[in-house]
Structure 1
Amino acid sequence: MKILINGIQSNLRFSSAHIIPGHSSCGFIHGHSYFVDVEIEGERAGEFEFVVDFKDVKGYTKELCNTLDHRLLIPIFNDLIEFKEFNPSEDSIDELVNSKVARFKIAGKGYSVPSEDCVFLELPYTSAEELSKYFAEKLASKLAEKYDNLTSVSVCVNEGIGQGAVYTKSLVE
């Protein structure tokens, strides 16, 4: 059985700025008002024969949205971003999080942004595709703590009405 949660109607949204280094139009800092749709498949189980409690899914997803809301999303595993005083392959992401200022260059342009205004993501890009995978994996991990009847978690991260990317995380081997 499958359950669906519509991000617009369930207020699963966030607004963030990001940059896609090297892209002709998305290579500049810009932002989106994102919304997140969730689809979960699994067997009905438990006292009420739910696939999963909607309240849990919406709560966990909203927590993820809140961590990204009104922040600059920075993909630390992008080879086109040159960080000052941080090496993504050697240093802990905590060093960036705990620093006062994030300093980096993209295509020769220098940026200096208060770290508290940023979310540093262990991703190569902050595209809708990568964000949908990020959400699906985080949500699947959180739901697995409480549910053992789920077979997949799909998340669509929409950059606006009519355009989004879907990633499905299988929970069966």
Structure 2
Amino acid sequence: MNYAIKVYKEYFNFAASHFVIFKDGTREPLHGHNYRVALKGDALDLEGDMVFDFLDIKPIVREVCDSLDHKLLLPGDNPHLKINDDDTNWEILPQDGSRFSIPKQDVLILPLSNTSAERLAIYLANRIDELTKQRFDFQFKCMEIEVEETRGQCAIYRMEN
């Protein structure tokens, strides 16, 4: 049999700024979103009559969302973006010739090729999967992460284990 849980709470959110870098190296203007996150997790069987305890998964999703909150999110693996360590700031040099200097505490460099909603969903899924394995020795058979940028506009990533 297949079972699933879905969690989507008001506090599964983060406000962050970013810019998407396109294939040709051009980029969007720097802007922000009030992102919302939902998780659906599947299991083949029930363990203790549950897929996974809501009381255990909610703090993990919240923790990962909180780590992104009020940050400039940058892709650390994009060939069109150079990021230099400038003492207390990150110097951010997109291919278009613009230059940003942002205090390090306001920036989160992610192990991603871009900061699109799709890539953020991948990041969230990987972090949540990692934390549930570490803390509970548990993995969903399949996990879907939904990242909503604005109402009616979201990306979904499906991770199979």
**TM-score normalised by L of structure 1:** 0.82
Verify the 8 A CA contact 1:2 1:41 in the aligned structure 2: yes
Q: CA deviation at 1:100?
A: 1.2
2:89 pairs with 101, 108, 115, which one?
Answer: 101
User: Which residue does 1:39 correspond to in 2?
Assistant: 40
Verify the 8 A CA contact 1:44 1:149 in the aligned structure 2: no
Q: CA deviation at 1:80?
A: 1.2
- In structure 1, C-alpha distance between the alignment counterparts of 2:138 and 2:99, rounded to whole Å: 47
1:60-98 Cα deviation digits (max 9, x unpaired)? 01101111101100111111112235xxxxxxxxxx8xx
User: Which residue does 1:121 correspond to in 2?
Assistant: 110
2:141 pairs with 103, 126, 151, which one?
Answer: 151
Report the aligned-residue RMSD.
Answer: 2.0
Counterpart AA for 1:133: I
Which sections of structure 2, spanning at least 5 residues, go unmatched?
none
User: Which residue does 2:7 correspond to in 1?
Assistant: 5
User: Which residue does 2:120 correspond to in 1?
Assistant: 131
- In structure 2, C-alpha distance between the alignment counterparts of 1:149 and 1:62, rounded to whole Å: 18
Moved more, 138-147 or 113-122: 138-147
CA 1:45–1:166 in 2, change beyond 3 Å: closer, same or farther? Answer: same
Verify the 8 A CA contact 2:132 2:139 in the aligned structure 1: no
CA 1:120–1:147 in 2, change beyond 3 Å: closer, same or farther? Answer: same
- In structure 1, C-alpha distance between the alignment counterparts of 2:154 and 2:104, rounded to whole Å: 28
Identity of paired residues, percent?
27
Verify the 8 A CA contact 2:129 2:139 in the aligned structure 1: no
Which sections of structure 1, spanning at least 5 residues, go unmatched?
86-95
Q: CA deviation at 1:10?
A: 3.8
- In structure 2, C-alpha distance between the alignment counterparts of 1:76 and 1:149, rounded to whole Å: 27
Q: How does 1:23-102 map to 2 (within 5 A)?
A: 27-42=28-43, 43-46=45-48, 49-84=49-84, 99-102=87-90
Verify the 8 A CA contact 1:10 1:58 in the aligned structure 2: no
- In structure 2, C-alpha distance between the alignment counterparts of 1:29 and 1:14, rounded to whole Å: 17
User: Which residue does 2:156 correspond to in 1?
Assistant: 166
CA 1:55–1:165 in 2, change beyond 3 Å: closer, same or farther? Answer: same
The residue matched to 1:124 in structure 2 has which SS? coil
The residue matched to 1:44 in structure 2 has which SS? coil
